[in-house]
Amino acid sequence: MDKLVNNSIKLEFPSKGENVALARITIAALVSQLELTLNDLEEIKVAVSEAVSNAVIHGYGNKPDGLITVIGILQNEKIIIEIIDQGIGINDIEKAMEPAFSTDPERTGLGFVFMQSFMDEVKVESQENHGTRVILSKQLNSENKKFAVS
């Protein structure tokens, strides 16, 4: 079972709320090709859900005709996920990433907090009126394996 899985996937879909689940389930299926803990799997699903929800809600303002691209790369026991939209972009990335910053009272402003809590690294590139690219990465397995061996 000690095999190294290198694999990748690219998804493109319209900016509909229903596709948030589609994206997180697909990425979950990809990372499940590695042996990973249920906890890691849950955390990755939440992080992907947040990034894709942001693209739908903020990037495209809930309009369903935008295009969202999700790329998942599994390499050397690391998962890298890119979530790309061509929406309105973020004019102040630092402010957008602040905990509890939200432009809507019915939202928690916790999207980026979850991404940062559950992934090793979160990078955001954005250009106003051109779109946003969020890159999430997380090292999987290595610690658990060390633990299992010792």
Partner 1 sequence: MSISLNTKKNTLIVHIGGEFDLVSANEYRERIDHQMLENNSRNLLLNMEKTTFIDSSGLGVIMGRFRKIKANNGQMIIYGAKPGIKKIFEVSGILSLMPVCNTEEAAWQILEKKTIEGA
Binding site for partner 1 (CB under 8 A): 17-18, 20-21, 38-39, 42, 45-46, 49-50, 53, 56-57, 105-111, 113-114, 117
- Strand ordering across the sheet containing 78-85: 7-14, 67-75, 78-85, 131-139, 121-127
The smaller minimum CB distance to partner 1, of residues 34 and 47, is found at 47
DSSP state letter for 106: T
Q: What residue type is assigned to position 128 of the chain?
A: E
144 is catalytic: no
Instruction: Choose, from 107, 125, 141, 144, the residue flagged as catalytic.
Output: 107
Does residue 19 sit in helix, strand or coil? helix
Give CA–CA dist 55/45, Å, rounded.
16
The smaller minimum CB distance to partner 1, of residues 5 and 97, is found at 97
77 is catalytic: no
* Least Cβ distance, residue 53 to partner 1 (angstroms): 5
Give CA–CA dist 10/117, Å, rounded.
25
Give CA–CA dist 150/18, Å, rounded.
44
Instruction: Choose, from 24, 54, 82, 133, the residue flagged as catalytic.
Output: 54
Instruction: Choose, from 19, 24, 43, 50, the residue flagged as catalytic.
Output: 50
107 is catalytic: yes
The residues assigned a catalytic role are: 50, 54, 107
